[in-house]
Amino acid sequence: MGSQILMTFNTSNLREDDPTLNPSDFIVKFNPPIRLPGRNFRLAFYSFFGWRSYHNITGKTIVYGIDGTEYTLSIPDGLYGLNEVNALLQADIVSNGGEADKLVLTPNFNTNRTEISIDNTSNTYNLDFSASNNLANFFGFSEINVTSSQAGSVIANVNQDRENLNIECDLIKGNIKNGRFSRIIHSFKPSGPTNSSMEIFPLHQTWHQIDKTFIDTIDFKVTDNVGRIVSFNGEDLTISIVLEEINK
């Protein structure tokens, strides 16, 4: 193969020229443009560095009742596990005169379902998943009013379709995902606690044909399983790619 060029893009540096730049969806401008002598070039993802600062809960509430009185718990935007949401619920129930551990959300890792336990011995409790901005999908329930102990009907979508993150680049062509053309150059599974660093270096590089001979811009996006832009809530990231000429 031919010579390689490593290209690194840091959104903190790019923001110096464009303060409105979105680290999850940004365009790099080249002045002067890069002119490739033909289409015998390819690229590969080299590395990614960022922070696990994206949220899986944004603008959501839990509506529950104690003895017929309805209460609304607003969940602060953030990255949560099911047990952490349950802890917020228990504290809110106690603050409103109820008892802890009488309306409980528990993950069952054997069945991959969320179990709701309701104990009406001293008070009557309910959890209303039909209310607006609810977390029914998060817990794996349909939009019902839960008045007795039961398990969710489907697997809890705690990650909110962010089990994998995708790095997309508009220089390539030919990829297909779910029957549609895709610009994904790498996918990875995030790990670690909230706000931990993510450093991604693939063991093996996958090469993609470049779709341009004249490069004045490169568009990068970070998306989730269903193609939505993933917000890192202002945290910067660094993406590196490798360009290589293919020997004729």
Query: Is the same domain home to 178 and 223?
Result: yes
Tell me, what CATH number does 178's domain have? Answer: 2.60.120.1100
* pLDDT tens digits, one per residue of 77-96: 999 999 999 999 999 999 99
Specify if 167 maps to a domain: yes
Of 151, 179, 195, the residue that ends a domain is: 151
Query: Is the same domain home to 49 and 85?
Result: no
The model's pTM: 0.86
Query: Is the same domain home to 65 and 50?
Result: no
pLDDT of 1: 54
Which domain, by its residues, includes 196?
4-54+162-245
Mean pLDDT in residue range 152-172: 93
Q: What percent of the chain has pLDDT above 70?
A: 96
Query: Is the same domain home to 144 and 167?
Result: no
| SS3 category, 48 | strand
Q: Among the residues of 62-176, which ranges form H helices?
A: 82-95, 136-139
pLDDT of 78: 94
Residue 179 has pLDDT above 70, yes or no: no
Query: Is the same domain home to 120 and 240?
Result: no
pLDDT of 54: 94
Mean pLDDT in residue range 51-73: 97
Query: Is the same domain home to 138 and 220?
Result: no
Q: How many domains does the chain have?
A: 2
pLDDT of 36: 87
The pLDDT-based confidence of 178 (bands split at 50, 70, 90) is low
